[in-house]
Structure 1
Amino acid sequence: MSAIRLIVVILAILIGASALSLYLLLRASLPQLEGEYALKGLRQAVSLERDDNGMAVIHAQDRIDVAMATGFVHAQERFFQMDLLRRNAAGELSYLFGPVALDRDREIGLHRFRQRARQRLNDVPAKHRALLEAYTQGVNQGIEGLSVRPFEYHLLQAGLQPWQAEDTLLVLYSMYLDLQYHDGRRDLSLDMMKRHLPGPLYDFLHPAGSHWDAPIDNSIQNATPVPQTPWPKPQQQPEVSTDGEAADLMPGSNNWAVSGELTPYNAAMLANDMHLGIRVPNIWYRLQLNWREQDKRHQLTGLSLPGTPLVVVGTNTRLAWGFTNSYGDWSDLIRLRLDKSGEQYLTPQGYLPFSYPVRSIEIKGQQSEQQQIKETIWGPVVGEDEDGTPLVYRWVAHDPQGANLNMLALETADTVDKGVSIATTAGMPAQNIMLADSDGNIAWTIAGPMPIRFGFDGRYISDWSDGTQGWAGYRQAGDYPAVINPDNQRLWSANARVIGGKEYQKIGDGGYALGARNQQIRDRLLAKNTFSEQDFLDIQMDDRALFLSPWRDLMLVQVLPESAHPQATKITEYLQSWSARADIDSLAYLLVRQFRLTVRDLVYQDLLRLMQDKHPDFSFRAIRNQLEIPLWQLVNEQPVHLLPQGIDSWDALFALALDKTLMDLNAEYGDWQQLSWGQFNQVQIRHPLSNFVPLLGMLTDMPEQPLAGDSFMPNVSRNAFGASQRMVVAPGQEQHAILHMPSSQSGHPLAPYFNNGHEAWRIGEPTPLLPGKINYKLKLTPDSN
């Protein structure tokens, strides 16, 4: 045997041995699906069933036992995901990943969420504390019930730490980090623009509204006219940085509801799809909870968040609810006034010294690090302005109102009025909550804490040193904005501004999405007077390119006829076959989309140079949403004085953008003429470790297949981002309800139902909300030892 053949044989044996070892490791960490298992602390026997999609169906005699069984099944299927969520919020990822996660841990550690979670535990009602303790017991016994710890810990060579009741609150804080800014970057960026741009130019770039707005109260606000002021010139010419391919993706959602007068049942109907980054497994876990309370049976069906006993979106047969991220203004950046020593800061009570709490960061493979945090009475110091003055972050997540389990009361609420009342007490990242009940009523309000500001505009950095600016506590139930049973019998939200006037002022502007999705949903709702579940799913899957159609027309009418590009004729042919959809076969959609992004980056390059020259932490991502409005005004009116430096005409800018669009596509994908939107927009949903562990991705990652949809339409869909669930339900008519979930119910690639339902999510095939055929039955019994 030659040396080369010998090496090949040895490598094959090693690869085979590695694959076999991985397989055996995976097999050993599978959850228990059938038989019996004894749980300490369980009061009475519990039935834990799973259907062919792995949906957990729990039958118990009381809510405490339900919580314990939920913790058990979450841990068996999803403990690594739960661990990542708690460590993300606590700034403890270095325990698993070593020094590579240290910068992130230091950044998040400023908020001391571990300590806050412990403090919050002292505030929760006894009933909630009992549920947390039962859930925690279930989690830890679920881990103990595995033959070996989850496979991720073996791959990372990291230890597994037990669950604590405080960790559930850390999971809630992790959602704050996903749904809201944790460092004041939006306030910083808007404040810089306001201070360094001429007033008319700033007003133009930060308009109050546009023709895309579609609030539920029809409170339309107009764009600002193009100013005569040119771009200020930066002292230097740094490289500009936008957000690249992540262009229009931000955590968000769609939801809407119609009253019972518009459904076949007299019950109202609700739709909800929450847009997040999607991984393996999916963030949500499908389940149905059944229990008895005060001689009344309760059934709750929906999606839970592993790490908590909560059903986040779902139905209890009388009331259904869902969420979209509100993008209200729930935080403020404060500029301090220091004394001469720089060691004290001015407050309404005079100068006070900073406090310096210390926390320990455990680092895999290294000694622990002691992190010293600089704090004020308002919050931690998170950065500095251009002059080196400390900036402090005031955030609802830091306060007692920020985290609680009050949303548990939705489980047994039976009217939208009760749902609205519960939402106003919720400790969670503030959301648009949509409610629908079996009597036909619908409602919208904000769920989550709402601070009361005085003396300043919350969009910009403020100065709280003399007491004329600040927060005056939190709004109470009667002061929350709410709309119940509007005259048109329809409600909708999609991360854009929902309402105007004084109610809008209460919510503030934390970076609303452009209203294109909102408008497309509204118009579909107004176009019909009767709706079925399939009608709602059709809206969720709507991939019509209404937002981009004007850009296609611009290219056909102005850009291409004036272009000297050698392939201009061919591009014109493609655009003339425009389907006006983000469908997987469309090359035209891809060309128009990428052209718009290239134009945007060229048009705003002087703004970015100026701002990034002033402060490296200026964030284009944080302020980009409303920039779409002035961008369209600029490309239509084409003012010469607002051309970027080095470009002498708008035709030249368009020509440069067209050339760069094609060059970039060719550089990344080869011949652009062989592309389609579906080839560009492929599923890339992966396990967090699959990029780093050879062969793992073959087992864990979703198939790379084309996706229809994009950002500015109801069917938000982009590689590993989009609808983390789709639900359509009329309370009391759950047998007709629809639920989609991408990725996988189980975190274990050898689970018999791994990735079941993913393909239906991808193509929009309706699948039921209620559990299907029960394939697995596990009996949980009280452990008398």
Structure 2
Amino acid sequence: MSGTMSDQPGSPASVPPSTPRPGIRDWWRSFLRWPRVARITTYVVVGLVLVLVVALVTGAVLVRRPFPQTSGSAELAGLGADVEVVRDDHGIPQLYGDSVADLMRAQGYVHAQERFFEMDVRRHATAGRLAEMFGEKALDSDEMVRTMGWRRVAEQELALIKPETRAALEAYADGVNAYLDQHSPSQIAVEYTVLNAGGLDYRPEHWTAVDSLAWLKAMAWDLRGNMTDEIDRVLALADHSAEQVQELYPAYPYGEHAPIVGQGAVVDGIFDQAATQGATRKPQRPAYTAGARRVLSRLQAGIERMPTLLGRGDGIGSNSWVVDGDHSATGEPLLANDPHLDASLPGVWMQMGLHCRTVSEDCPLDVAGFTFSGVPGVIIGHNADIAWGFTNLGPDVTDLYLERVQGDRWRYDGKLRPLRTRTETIKVHGGDDVELTIRSTRHGPLLSDVSDQLTDVGEEARVDGRPDEETYAVALEWTALHPSATADAVLELDTATGWDSFRAAAADFAVPAQNLVYADTEGHIGYQAPGRIPIRKSGNDGLLPVAGWRPENDWTGDYVPFDGLPNVLDPEEGFIVTANQAVIGQDYPYRLTDDWDQGYRSQRIRDLLDKEGELSVDEMLDLQLDDRNPMGPVLTPYLLDVDLPRGYYSDGQRLLLHWDFGQPADSAAAAYFNVVWSNLLRLTFQDELPEDQWPDGGDRWFAAVSHLLATPADPWWDDAATDRVETRDDILAEALTTARDELTRRQDVSADEWSWGRLHRLDLHQAALGESGIGPVEWLVNRGTWQVGGGSAAVDATSWDASEGYAVTSAPSMRMVVSVGDFDKSRWINLTGVSGHPFDGHYTDQTDLWADGDTLPWPFTPSAVHDAAEDTLTLTPAEAGE
């Protein structure tokens, strides 16, 4: 070597010993010689940097402070013995205890750890108290909920439920409150830090059993059925004939799409023929005068201001199906379920398991599945003996009554009778208290009273030909406003051991009415329709608001008897599909509804089950991801027949030549077809319908347009805004060309570069603060964006509203497939994650998997759960005196 390391340039030895290193003191002396302006600028920059660093550190601390303790031990007052909380790598908790009371108390504690802010917002919503937290902007919702009296009904239900259910609710509330007592608001949720920084000065109240029961009212509201359809029909009748309006509400296609069960499937049916003489198909309608339409229109606007706690109300769907051992590759039943609800953050479900270490009569819980934070027990899932899933039955359980009101009286059966009246006070953060007067008839509360311009409503809603002081009002009759013991059904399902105990649990499930699919370890599969479904008198078919002054329009006071509701055990075809289609054939003696989902999803699932033969768990999961557009094969031939100029405009049309009607995120053809569909609906209907009735493009509109395509000169095709008379082919040609232009603007001039996912995006917004309009707050709580496939009325039902855009509005809120032969082979996934805390690792850690169509292992047996354990927290009884 030519030299040593100390001789190399840049080494410490190469610095002459006589050259001292510059130090902080030397730098400071040099800095003091800088010009004054430069020194001041430096001070400001350094100060801002320090403020930013402190803010970031403080923000990180405040964000992380509410994260739950997941390991070690924590005291929980009231426990009889230790409860283990075993979490896997996605934070999904499985609880192990020695008594139902301990498990309920621990479940309340864990729900509060992960999601108390969500629970708190929901209970304020269901009590009509959102304005206490969020100010005047929440007043419309509070007034509507207070008028309906959700919490008043929940308080009455507390006296109806079984003692063991009440004990579970109380133990659950104790667990929630133990967590609240141990933590300050900033330790419970970062959202409280944000709200209190804005001047709220808030500390959460203790949880109660009624808070849990009231949440069931929110479930019922979002799954209520055809209430807004009643209003839409009346408003559409203002400018169109009854025949034209009927074209927009096609009858269910029984000949094409099979119902859930056949008529012969009703077991032990008890049909009260006298009770079925009502609900004539041609009842006497009230005169829908301008005044009546105004009051209904105002009511509709008020309903639209209600928060979506579960979903979007009318039109929410879900899929579930079950196959027997002959159709399963495992030789044992497989059960699938994916409820379609609002795309919210956090998602409505939280996965959890509740296990008695020793299962016995005194401690019968050994169940896992999807829970609602705020409600004890498992809502959907399986125990060691049975599995079950839910979809919305969608019966007509609401009626709107057009009432004639004079002052404090209302007209009924030829007489004026006093209105029932009560007054409530709504506290408003940052504003004055609001006194709300709630009036009711025998049919229910007057929802039309909920208006900032109540006086104007009265002035504009006069009854023609009656005294000047007589005006229209609208009352709501709804099964959820009649107290029931639905809460009993949750724990009864969790502990059912076979078909008979499963049906006994279903008999208690009053509101909302659901489709229940079933499988058990004995190899049986089944279906049961539970729920309170009213029997109407002769003047009321439930399709339109009815005259409240006519007694023949009332409900009889009886419900369809449970033993008369459709059910089946082990059907001959070996599988059962429920996807919101008609439940049973037209010869069924009770009227459930005429507003069924059109059955596109259900028939597609049936067709694929018939085709597949024996299915594996993976094939069941693949079926949940089927993205075929049911309107594709109907509309595409008509689109291809349109003669477009070659080149620019025919480029989009060319994509449809070999399209298989699938809608993956990367599909250019799906992007073009769906934009054409959106434009077709706009061009056909928006000129003749008010804005709040513009087509959303879902299954009803698939059916309506399918029928219109066969009649090229139908008046609906004509554009009322032009002097000429347009036909079907004119509208199709314009829809194709405007879609081409729209996609060029939105994506690319090259049609091959288009993709459905770039339009069809999933953004997750928190309901409470995610629409605050404050950028940093929205950044804190919201997440996105995911490009997804699927679409409205597809099995992979990532729905979108054609009147608003292409973004996902509702979606599969979870997916699960249960393998009854080996529960540890089951799979599940949640739309978001277990946590409700922004920036927690489990806030949206399942969303990427969900969007890619992936699922997680679902361990159930103790060995499988502990093998998958990432963290274990032991909840211990508090020491005496603490």
Per mean C-alpha deviation after superposition, the further-off stretch among 16-25 and 391-400 is: 16-25
Residue 422 of structure 2 corresponds to: 357
CA distance in 2 between counterparts of 1:81 and 1:280 reads 9
Deviations 1:229-277 (A, max 9, x none): xxxxx9xxx9xx9x9xx99994221001112332244532210001111
Correspondence 1:155 to 2:222: no
**2:95 and 2:354 in contact (8 A); partners too:** yes
Residue 610 of structure 2 corresponds to: 526
AA matched with 1:514? Q
**C-alpha deviation, 1:579, in angstroms:** 4.4
Residue 318 of structure 2 corresponds to: 253
Correspondence 1:404 to 2:499: no
Matching of residues 175-186 of structure 1 within 5 Å: 175-180=219-224, 184-186=227-229
**1:481 and 1:503 in contact (8 A); partners too:** no
**2:99 and 2:362 in contact (8 A); partners too:** no
Secondary structure at the counterpart of residue 874 of structure 2: strand
CA distance in 1 between counterparts of 2:421 and 2:638 reads 57
**C-alpha deviation, 1:756, in angstroms:** 3.0
Per mean C-alpha deviation after superposition, the further-off stretch among 520-529 and 37-46 is: 37-46
Matching of residues 251-650 of structure 1 within 5 Å: 251-291=316-356, 292-294=359-361, 298-338=365-405, 341-347=406-412, 350-383=415-448, 388-401=471-484, 403-455=486-538, 456-472=540-556, 473-503=558-588, 505-509=590-594, 511-558=595-642, 561=643, 563-564=644-645, 567-576=648-657, 578-609=659-690, 619-620=693-694, 625-639=699-713, 641-642=715-716, 643-645=718-720, 646=722, 647-650=725-728
Deviations 1:534-554 (A, max 9, x none): 111011011123432332332
Per mean C-alpha deviation after superposition, the further-off stretch among 493-502 and 269-278 is: 493-502
Residue 149 of structure 2 corresponds to: 112
Q: Indicate how the Cα distance of structure 1 residues 373 and 297 shifts in structure 2: closer, same or farther if over 3 A, else same.
A: closer
Within the candidate set 151, 160, 164, 1:123 is matched to: 160
**2:708 and 2:714 in contact (8 A); partners too:** no
**C-alpha deviation, 1:463, in angstroms:** 2.8
**C-alpha deviation, 1:4, in angstroms:** 8.9
Residue 226 of structure 1 corresponds to: none
**2:345 and 2:764 in contact (8 A); partners too:** yes
**1:31 and 1:146 in contact (8 A); partners too:** no
AA matched with 1:276? L
CA distance in 2 between counterparts of 1:358 and 1:301 reads 44
Residue 862 of structure 2 corresponds to: none
Secondary structure at the counterpart of residue 656 of structure 1: helix
AA matched with 2:689? L
* Aligned-CA RMSD value: 3.1
**1:260 and 1:440 in contact (8 A); partners too:** yes
Deviations 1:730-767 (A, max 9, x none): 33521111101121111123434443332221112232
Deviations 1:140-184 (A, max 9, x none): 1122334623111111124122212110011111112222269x4
Residue 767 of structure 1 corresponds to: 856
Secondary structure at the counterpart of residue 576 of structure 1: coil
Secondary structure at the counterpart of residue 30 of structure 1: coil
**C-alpha deviation, 1:15, in angstroms:** 4.6
**1:402 and 1:429 in contact (8 A); partners too:** no
AA matched with 2:733? A
Residue 780 of structure 1 corresponds to: 875
Deviations 1:380-405 (A, max 9, x none): 11227795511110001100127433
Q: Indicate how the Cα distance of structure 1 residues 702 and 449 shifts in structure 2: closer, same or farther if over 3 A, else same.
A: same
AA matched with 1:319? I
CA distance in 2 between counterparts of 1:7 and 1:634 reads 70
Percent identity, aligned pairs only, is: 26
Q: Indicate how the Cα distance of structure 1 residues 629 and 297 shifts in structure 2: closer, same or farther if over 3 A, else same.
A: closer
Higher relative contact order (CA 8 A, sep 6+): 1
**2:135 and 2:429 in contact (8 A); partners too:** yes
Q: Indicate how the Cα distance of structure 1 residues 353 and 290 shifts in structure 2: closer, same or farther if over 3 A, else same.
A: same
Residue 231 of structure 1 corresponds to: none
**2:100 and 2:365 in contact (8 A); partners too:** no
**C-alpha deviation, 1:601, in angstroms:** 2.6
**1:42 and 1:68 in contact (8 A); partners too:** yes
Q: Indicate how the Cα distance of structure 1 residues 727 and 574 shifts in structure 2: closer, same or farther if over 3 A, else same.
A: same
Q: Indicate how the Cα distance of structure 1 residues 684 and 619 shifts in structure 2: closer, same or farther if over 3 A, else same.
A: same
**1:443 and 1:482 in contact (8 A); partners too:** yes
TM-score by length of 2: 0.79
Matching of residues 603-752 of structure 1 within 5 Å: 603-609=684-690, 619-620=693-694, 625-639=699-713, 641-642=715-716, 643-645=718-720, 646=722, 647-665=725-743, 673=751, 674-688=753-767, 689-690=769-770, 692=772, 693-695=774-776, 700-718=781-799, 719=808, 721-752=810-841
**2:100 and 2:363 in contact (8 A); partners too:** no
**C-alpha deviation, 1:124, in angstroms:** 1.6
**2:131 and 2:428 in contact (8 A); partners too:** yes
CA distance in 2 between counterparts of 1:303 and 1:31 reads 20
**1:284 and 1:306 in contact (8 A); partners too:** yes
Residue 164 of structure 1 corresponds to: 208
**2:261 and 2:566 in contact (8 A); partners too:** no
**C-alpha deviation, 1:212, in angstroms:** 5.5
CA distance in 2 between counterparts of 1:763 and 1:357 reads 52
**C-alpha deviation, 1:39, in angstroms:** 1.9
Q: Indicate how the Cα distance of structure 1 residues 623 and 651 shifts in structure 2: closer, same or farther if over 3 A, else same.
A: closer
Q: Unaligned stretches of 5+ in structure 1?
A: 220-233, 613-617
Q: Indicate how the Cα distance of structure 1 residues 638 and 320 shifts in structure 2: closer, same or farther if over 3 A, else same.
A: same
Residue 95 of structure 1 corresponds to: 132
**1:336 and 1:392 in contact (8 A); partners too:** yes
Secondary structure at the counterpart of residue 374 of structure 1: strand
CA distance in 1 between counterparts of 2:419 and 2:314 reads 38
- Matched residues, number: 750
CA distance in 2 between counterparts of 1:261 and 1:504 reads 33
**C-alpha deviation, 1:648, in angstroms:** 2.9
**C-alpha deviation, 1:479, in angstroms:** 2.0
**C-alpha deviation, 1:11, in angstroms:** 5.8
**C-alpha deviation, 1:133, in angstroms:** 0.6
Q: Indicate how the Cα distance of structure 1 residues 33 and 482 shifts in structure 2: closer, same or farther if over 3 A, else same.
A: same
**1:113 and 1:173 in contact (8 A); partners too:** yes
CA distance in 2 between counterparts of 1:181 and 1:110 reads 19
CA distance in 1 between counterparts of 2:60 and 2:793 reads 42
CA distance in 2 between counterparts of 1:296 and 1:266 reads 31
CA distance in 2 between counterparts of 1:280 and 1:380 reads 32
AA matched with 1:426? F
AA matched with 1:175? M
**2:517 and 2:527 in contact (8 A); partners too:** yes
CA distance in 1 between counterparts of 2:531 and 2:47 reads 60
CA distance in 1 between counterparts of 2:585 and 2:81 reads 52
Residue 222 of structure 1 corresponds to: none
**C-alpha deviation, 1:595, in angstroms:** 1.0
**C-alpha deviation, 1:337, in angstroms:** 3.6
AA matched with 1:604? F
**2:814 and 2:829 in contact (8 A); partners too:** yes
**2:827 and 2:858 in contact (8 A); partners too:** yes
CA distance in 2 between counterparts of 1:350 and 1:457 reads 24
**1:52 and 1:775 in contact (8 A); partners too:** yes
Q: Indicate how the Cα distance of structure 1 residues 316 and 189 shifts in structure 2: closer, same or farther if over 3 A, else same.
A: same
Q: Indicate how the Cα distance of structure 1 residues 120 and 200 shifts in structure 2: closer, same or farther if over 3 A, else same.
A: same
Per mean C-alpha deviation after superposition, the further-off stretch among 35-44 and 373-382 is: 35-44
Larger Rg: 2
Q: Indicate how the Cα distance of structure 1 residues 697 and 740 shifts in structure 2: closer, same or farther if over 3 A, else same.
A: same
Q: Indicate how the Cα distance of structure 1 residues 13 and 649 shifts in structure 2: closer, same or farther if over 3 A, else same.
A: farther
